[in-house]
Amino acid sequence: MTQTQPAASESDSANRAAKARIDLSRHLIELAHAPELTRFDWEALFGNPHPVEFEIGSGKGLFLANVAASKPTRNFLGIEVSRKYAEQAALRLAKRSLTNARIIHGEARAILERAIPGQGLAAIHVYFPDPWWKTRHRKRRLVDPWLLDQVERTLKPEGEIHFATDVAAYFTVIERLMETRTRFHRVPWLSPVDPELSADGLTNFDRKYRAQGRSIHLARYVFTNGDGGTDATSS
Ligand SMILES: C[S@@+](CC[C@H](N)C(=O)[O-])C[C@H]1O[C@@H](n2cnc3c(N)ncnc32)[C@H](O)[C@@H]1O
């Protein structure tokens, strides 16, 4: 009899066993039910003054772990609303002893508004943000004008925002929204040799969708003081 086994790192029981031995407290920030939030002091959180990048909806943390490992002089903070995934991401960071990455268990909108300081982020990453891309779901979508107001508030000048999705219609919505933001200048997507792009996929969903042969839509914008041009890139 053949039986398909989940990969060890993604099996709940393996994670429970690993969690019993690995301390997640250095990597997991529990803010999901925090009654009061104060804004982060990045230097206090990471113990250094390096630039901070923020990933919204980190899932199981593949991007967070790979990018933190490849860029030790930058700090990475993810946020994930699912406790199970936030713990899996923290476990991934802890297993690799990454000192420059943390994951928050919490809801992105509340945390962005109340805990992320202004003009402090070097980059924001939004990859395969949510399943709410249909028109009837638009009120539940993560990427909307309110979110972009927060992006403009929290990014440093010359900071970047990166989007990825497999849903062409949602990508068009994001492009249209970004076109209304004159301080963003669209630039080409990162080169495949950039360490931010791991050989086997940017994120878990990127890896999964590429294996299924789906098109992935990618966009990268720099926050500037001038008017932006456009330079679309998909892969
Ligand atoms: C489709 S998954 C993609 C995960 C990961 N970025 C990837 O590409 O593999 C979207 C993730 O975003 C999380 N998410 C959606 N809305 C969120 C929100 N408002 N705050 C925090 N996380 C959110 C979901 O729980 C889910 O894990």
Closest C-alpha to 101, from 75, 135, 140, 130: 75
Where does the chain show beta strands of DSSP type E? 28-30, 52-56, 75-80, 101-105, 121-127, 155-165, 184-187, 217-223, 233-234
Question: What pLDDT does residue 116 have?
Answer: 97
Say what the alpha-carbon torsion angle 96, 156, 140, 172 is, to the nearest 10 degrees. -100
Domains in the chain, CATH or no CATH each: 29-234 (3.40.50.150)
How confident is the prediction along the chain (235 residues), in pLDDT tens digits per residue? 333 344 444 456 456 656 568 899 999 999 887 778 899 999 999 999 999 999 999 999 999 999 999 999 999 999 999 999 999 999 999 999 999 999 999 999 999 999 999 999 999 999 998 766 666 666 678 999 999 999 999 999 999 999 999 999 899 999 999 999 999 999 999 877 676 776 667 889 988 898 899 999 999 999 996 544 444 444 4
Question: What pLDDT does residue 15 have?
Answer: 64
3-state secondary structure of 171: helix
Q: What is the DSSP letter of 42?
A: H
* Binding pocket residue ranges, ligand 1, CB within 6 Å: 57-59, 79-82, 85, 107-109, 127-130, 142, 203-206
Question: What pLDDT does residue 132 have?
Answer: 62
Question: What pLDDT does residue 156 have?
Answer: 96
What is the Å distance from ligand 1's center to 32 Cα? 14
Counting atoms of ligand 1 from 1, which one is nearest the CA of 85? 27
Which of 55, 82, 114 should be mutated for ligand 1, with most atoms under 8 A from CB? 82
H or E element, residue 45:
helix 42-46
Measured CA to CA, the distance from residue 88 to residue 210 in angstroms comes to 22
Question: What pLDDT does residue 27 have?
Answer: 96
Question: What pLDDT does residue 230 have?
Answer: 42
- Residue bearing tokens 């099996």: 11
Q: Does the predicted TM-score (pTM) go above 0.75?
A: yes
